Chains A and B, each alone.
Chain A
Amino acid sequence: MNAMFRISGAGRLSQAKTASFSFDDKSYVGIEGDTLASGLLANGVHLVGRSFKYHRPRGVVSAGAEEPNALVQIVRDDARKTPNVRATVQELYDGLTAHSQNRWPSLSFDVGAVNDIASPLFSAGFYYKTFMWPKSAWKSLYEPKIRAAAGLGVSPDKPDPDHYAARYAHCEVLVLGGGAAGIAAALAAAETGVRVILADEQAEFGGSLRFESGARIDGQDGYAWAQAAIAKLKAMDNVRVLSRTTAFGYYAQNFVGLVERVSDHLKSPGRDLARERLWQIRAGRVVIATGAIERHMVFANNDRPGVMLASAARTYLNHYGVAVGKNVGVYTANDSAYTAAIDLKKAGVNIAAIVDLRDNPSGPVIDEARALGIEINFGRAVVSAGGKLRVSSMTVQPKNGGGGRTIPVDAILMSAGWTPSVHLFSQSRGKVAFNAETKRFVPGTYAQDCVSVGACNGTDGLDATVDEAYAAGAKAAKEAGGKAGKGAKPKVDAGESWSRGMLGAAPGAGPGTTVKAFVDFQNDVTAKDIRQAVHEGMHSIEHVKRFTTNGMATDQGKTSNMHGLAIAAEELGKPIPQVGLTTFRAPYTPVTFGSIVGHARGALFDPTRRTATHGWAARQGAVFEDVGHWKRAWYFPKSGEDMHAAVNRECVTVRKVGGLFDASTLGKIEVVGPDAAKFMELLYTNPWEKLETGRCRYGIMLREDGFIYDDGVVGRLAPDRFHVTTTTGGAPRVMNHMEDYLQTEFPHLNVWLTSITEQWAVIAVQGPKSREIIAPLVEGIDMSDEAMPHMSVREGKICGVPTRLFRMSFTGERGFEVNVPADYGEAVWEVLWAEGQKHGATAYGTETMHVLRAEKGYIIVGQDTDGTVTPNDAGLDWAVGKKKTDFVGIRGLTRPDLVAKGRKQLVGLKTKDPKVVLEEGAQIVADPKQPIPMKMIGHVTSSYWSENCGRSIALALVAGGRDRIGQTLYVPMPNGTIEVEVTGMVFVDEKGERLNG
């Protein structure tokens, strides 16, 4: 069964292939190849949405990507509910379900339409003026209400189940736009043998040839020529043809972002197909052939459903076989609308009248229209459209005023002229130039290796377009290294040509009028709003734009920008170029987050690093925490234990017996070479030349400004070889810092730096029984205190595999760190674990590690320091070589502020109530009774419950902290002020005897 407005014999779709679809729960039948818009129009449905602000009924305006009105929600299933889809772009598939947006309770009766009646309240800048006060109401009241009332579609509330692909590509010539110009350029470039990519946003190539019924190229109909040319291009090995692919962004050095809609047009895409594919193409030359977009006429009620662009009506007829009405009026200021009237008339649609603003135009299309018996009115204007849910009439007057008459119509086709699509050219940082004669912005100065051809370059006429495009394609290919082409330029036998038109408000909507003559349909901006903005002092187009929101909707003003600019210019009494054009920015059309994100989501969002013992820890029920990219075992709860209980047990067991801890994530860098010690002298504050082979030292690395950058234990394996450890988070930047100095400041030093973080698994065995646990498994190393004192390193074997065995401690207990090649990490851990269990040792995680080191006052760089802490501030002056004449940071340390009195210093804090655990980051004051805002003298950097001490402990940075030891300070918190005593930083074993215990 044919839909009412489908005209048999018209259009290119096969009427045999039907597709049923629903819109607002009502079923319709369309044809495969339809867009949702053409399918609805074929069924006589023009009313498809409500406007953003005034909730006015709206219909389909265009037949393409510029559509401002026909935004719908496409629902595939519970999770796939895509809002703000342009019905003119969405291809129909059998079973498609669409809903209108921004209406309640229904599209034809919408309560929000009261905004239209109350519209004097909602003038330009309304939001800025009205919701200023009280400030607190913005978040709680105004914003949610405005969003609910003025929103567009509804966001899906479930994770996106689709997947999105991404491709990089390179080519010599990239052609953007697949109309006559783009195809001609691609043909010329392809014939030279270079790699060519041709992309177009539509499902079928041809651009304006889809509606230009008069075009004939190479002896055939223009559209048929385009299909033949595309088939030829597709068959060439050096050409890639991308349909349904929108170039949305033009970036530096001919880098262009495109989105290919892979499966949104399919009934059942299946899991194999991505929804969209992001193309990132680097091109030697870019040919921009993006065409032009028709402008609407700005007159009262020009937004009534049924009022649309002339080229759109022509597309619906000539491509989709759909008549947009039965009795159609035309309102134009240029020739192109005549061709739409002629085509419709020939298809049997009544043309009520053509109203032409021009006084005495002439030309073949006007003659033809007249010959067909169409009524033509020159020098007249449509001053208003009648009807509400659908246009019912147009009121026509002489353009300079005078008596009018009302003509019944069911559609009005309008054309104010064509705006070259300079979006991508402008994004490439090219400068547009205003052509005063044709009143349009065209590409002026180029910033990149690209060229604009055809309508987007202001070139009028099919013949001139193909000439220009073919030559540009050949030239681009040649410049990019192509040979001379062998092909022949397509011959244009017949084509259409028009230009000119008008900008700004039409008669009846000019200065002094208050009618609703829409400039920007999507954001409900009228000609009056633009003038009001100018009156209120917005003299730059950038200000006018933001004040009125003209051109700021999702269509980015494709139809509205030039009108808005012209109205502002008129009101300001300035020429258009002096008022300026707003900047074009990516994306050209809305781009989904999915296509930008691609596969980088969920587990693939960021790399995950796991240590060699990860599997073992997981099997033990460890709870993990993220430390940078690493997953680290946080604590190992036994059954029934919460975190607190597990950590308390782990802490006590390590000090009583022993514990195993995976320290593999610490950064490790091998510094090797004849000048290794000299290099270490320069990069760390400590002296290294005299460190004996086999011994370790705690090193501090500064930035040049004197602040602590990193720290770690360094072992000297040989006179020319140091095994350096860094903090977990600092590993990459420490390596970068070292490389920077080695390559650029100390290139005379003969040193090699190698990251060995992932080569060695590190098992810390700490506690009084640590030596007993390890010793039975070690070969070739004397582990006695005499042979291997605290802070020494030995190479040998453990469990039969090579080891670098460090005797060091981050717990204050006798301790070792067993380094083994990472592949053996888990196996060695299991053996050590079995051995440890004989003694009652525990496995412990990062939380226990933190508590134990805090009990000893060992700092963590990045937690107890923050990039403004010197070694002296941290109580680490002993680690700065006093006799050294140079190291990175030596000069910074003597800066006046760094040696001044009263700097914040690290100290310990004990709460007066031992059960109270301070909050890390809490601020500290000297006098809790002072008025707010209080003077803050420091903050808590580390704070824990210490089961070993039977109380809470904390470290803090406090101004003049070491001179305040013994004093009482205060930590004001929301639930009351906490009293604390300033102490030294060591809470357990102040003399350090347990290191050998």
Chain B
Amino acid sequence: MLLIRCPYCEEERPELEFRNAGEAHIARPTNIAAESDDDFEKFFFIRANPKGVIYERWRHIHGCARFFNAVRDTVTDKFVMTYKAGEPKPAKLPGAAK
């Protein structure tokens, strides 16, 4: 079982308390009704599904109930970092290539 750091509770909690919520940093268009079919497809259906570092959303559903963002390596399953919802995608990851 993974340990995940909730950026709101500021501590590591067991995976059981969390639920994954898909890829992060996909903002709902402000004028969604005017989106083209192609743009809507990209927004709603297309996901990167990378091998390696993924930016994804998690919810501390059985804890503080907040949604937050995480950087995880899909190969090692290791969490690189977590940060609050609304914060920008981190420019540099801790422990990234020196």
Contact = CB atoms under 8 A, between A and B. Distances in A.
Contacts of A736: 19, 59, 61
Interface in B55-73: 57, 59, 61, 65-67
B94 to A, nearest CB: 16
A251 B1 contact: yes
Interface string A725-745: 000000000001001100111
A747 B35 contact: no
A735 to B, nearest CB: 9
Contact of A890 (B33, B61, B66): B33
Nearest to A753: B65
B80 interface: no
A282 B3 contact: yes
A252 B77 contact: yes
Q: How large is the interface on A (under 10, 10 to 19, 20 to 34, 35 or more residues)?
A: 20 to 34
Interface residues of B, number: 25
Interface in B31-89: 31-33, 35, 37, 40, 44, 57, 59, 61, 65-67, 76-78, 85-86
Nearest to B61: A736
A797 interface: no
B57 A744 contact: yes
A132 B44 CA distance: 45
A280 B14 CA distance: 12
B40 A743 contact: no
A255 interface: yes
Given A429-B76, A744-B67, A747-B86, A890 B44 contact: no
A66 to B, nearest CB: 28
Contacts of B67: 739-740, 743-744
Contacts, number: 52
A895 B37 CA distance: 7
A740 B66 contact: no
A739 B32 contact: no
Contacts of B92: none
Contact of A891 (B33, B65, B86): B33
A140 interface: no
A713 B87 CA distance: 36
B98 interface: no
A892 interface: yes
B21 interface: yes
B2 A886 contact: no
B3 to A, nearest CB: 5
B53 to A, nearest CB: 17
A158 to B, nearest CB: 32
Contact of A744 (B33, B35, B44, B85): B85
B32 A891 contact: yes
A460 interface: no
Interface in A849-880: none
B13 to A, nearest CB: 12
Nearest to B69: A744
Contacts of A251: 1
A891 B77 contact: no
Given A429-B76, A744-B67, A892 B1 contact: no
A896 interface: yes
A520 B1 CA distance: 33
A400 interface: no
B44 A745 contact: no
Given A251-B1, A253-B2, A253-B3, A447 B76 contact: yes
Contacts of B21: 740
Nearest to A745: B28
A255 B1 contact: yes
Contacts of A252: 1-2, 77-78
B35 to A, nearest CB: 6
Contacts of A890: 32-33
Contacts of A886: 31-33
A885 interface: yes
A704 interface: yes
A895 B32 CA distance: 12
A251 B37 CA distance: 44
Interface string B2-35: 1100000000000000010100000110011101
A496 interface: no
Interface string A955-970: 0000000000000000
Contacts of B19: 736
Nearest to B32: A891
Nearest to B75: A429
Contacts of B27: 745
A896 B36 CA distance: 11
A705 interface: yes
Nearest to A896: B37
A871 to B, nearest CB: 16
A261 B53 CA distance: 41
A736 to B, nearest CB: 7
Counting chain B CB atoms within 10 Å of each CB, the highest count among A252, A739, A743, A891 belongs to A891
A743 B61 contact: no
Contact of B35 (A705, A740, A891): A891
A255 B1 CA distance: 7
B42 to A, nearest CB: 12
Contacts of B85: 743-744, 747
Interface string A881-904: 000011000111011100000000
Nearest to B3: A253
Contacts of A429: 76
A705 B21 CA distance: 17
Nearest to B85: A744
Nearest to B28: A745
Interface in A691-732: 704-705
Contacts of B65: 739
A172 to B, nearest CB: 15
B88 to A, nearest CB: 14
B59 to A, nearest CB: 7
A884 B94 CA distance: 45
A747 B31 CA distance: 16
A685 to B, nearest CB: 13
A282 B2 CA distance: 10
Contact of A885 (B33, B76, B77, B86): B33
Interface in A655-714: 704-705
Interface in A441-481: 447
Contacts of A705: 44
A81 to B, nearest CB: 33
A892 B3 contact: no
Contacts of A892: 40, 44
Contacts of A740: 21, 59, 67
A895 B67 CA distance: 29
A736 B66 CA distance: 10
Nearest to A746: B28
A646 to B, nearest CB: 40
Nearest to B4: A253
Nearest to B21: A740
A743 B66 contact: yes
Contacts of B57: 744
Contacts of B3: 253, 282
A736 B62 CA distance: 12
A704 B59 CA distance: 19
Contacts of A747: 85-86
4 shortest interchain CB distances as A-B pairs: A891-B32, A743-B67, A745-B28, A890-B33
Given A429-B76, A747-B85, 9 more contacts: A252-B2, A704-B44, A705-B44, A736-B61, A740-B21, A744-B86, A745-B28, A895-B37, A895-B40
22 contacts: A252-B1, A252-B2, A252-B78, A253-B1, A280-B1, A282-B3, A429-B76, A447-B76, A704-B28, A705-B44, A736-B59, A736-B61, A740-B59, A740-B67, A743-B66, A743-B67, A744-B85, A745-B27, A886-B31, A891-B32, A895-B37, A896-B37
Interface of B: 1-3, 19, 21, 27-28, 31-33, 35, 37, 40, 44, 57, 59, 61, 65-67, 76-78, 85-86
